[in-house]
């Protein structure tokens, strides 16, 4: 049975190293680490997609081109296109409610205020999919708007700390898809 891994993020180099794009950064690492195919444009899914063939079935990785807040359109299209069941979907998303570096895997979780996750739940008509939430923390400056914070780049220290976070996220991904 096919599995679908959805990275939430914004397309384009302008957003590449911003907090909202941590899902894109993780999925890029997973594709390389597990030697999946390279990302290619998949217009029917409004995404870039890559594929990993496992004995238990293919894992399709997607990076929606719809921007974070409209991620649901791409996820619904990919779910239908690849014939994936709801419980075989894993969404990789940033989480301001978790301190930087914390990683959490849950099924049927809420949005935690994340507009991309809200969009996916709305498009699928259910939250019965898996989420791998990547903690990015909250703004250290009280006056900074949350929208500005999630679209701001990582600090150099955070970039260094990402390797530990991604190691744990990779372990959880491996467990979820049956690699380990």
Feature table: binding site:
15, 67, 69, 115
Annotated binding site for tRNA: 15, 67, 69, 115
| Range list of β-strands (E), the chain | 3-7, 40-42, 47-54, 57-64, 89-95, 103-107, 130-135
What is the spatial distance between Cα 36 and Cα 21, in angstroms, rounded to a whole number? Answer: 20
Query: What sign results for the dihedral spanned by CA atoms 169, 101, 149, 106?
Result: positive
Active site residue 114: no
The catalytic residue among 20, 73, 76, 114 is: 20
DSSP three-state, residue 102: coil
Active site amino acids: 20
């Amino acid at each position: 049975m096919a599995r679908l891994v959805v990275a939430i993020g914004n397309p384009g180099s302008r957003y590449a190293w911003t907090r909202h794009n941590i899902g894109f950064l993780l999925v890029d690492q997973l594709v390389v680490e597990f030697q999946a195919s390279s990302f290619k444009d998949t217009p029917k899914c409004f995404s870039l997609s890559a594929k990993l063939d496992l004995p238990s079935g293919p894992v399709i990785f997607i990076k929606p081109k719809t921007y974070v807040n409209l991620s649901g359109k791409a996820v619904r299209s990919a779910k239908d296109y690849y014939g994936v069941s709801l419980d075989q979907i894993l969404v990789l998303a940033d989480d301001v409610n978790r301190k930087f570096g914390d990683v959490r895997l849950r099924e049927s979780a809420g949005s935690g205020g994340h507009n991309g996750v809200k969009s996916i739940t709305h498009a699928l008509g259910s939250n019965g999919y898996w989420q791998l939430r990547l903690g990015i923390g909250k703004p250290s400056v009280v006056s900074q708007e949350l929208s500005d914070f999630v679209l701001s780049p990582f600090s150099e220290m955070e970039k260094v700390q990402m390797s530990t976070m991604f190691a744990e996220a990779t372990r959880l991904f491996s467990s979820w898809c049956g690699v380990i």
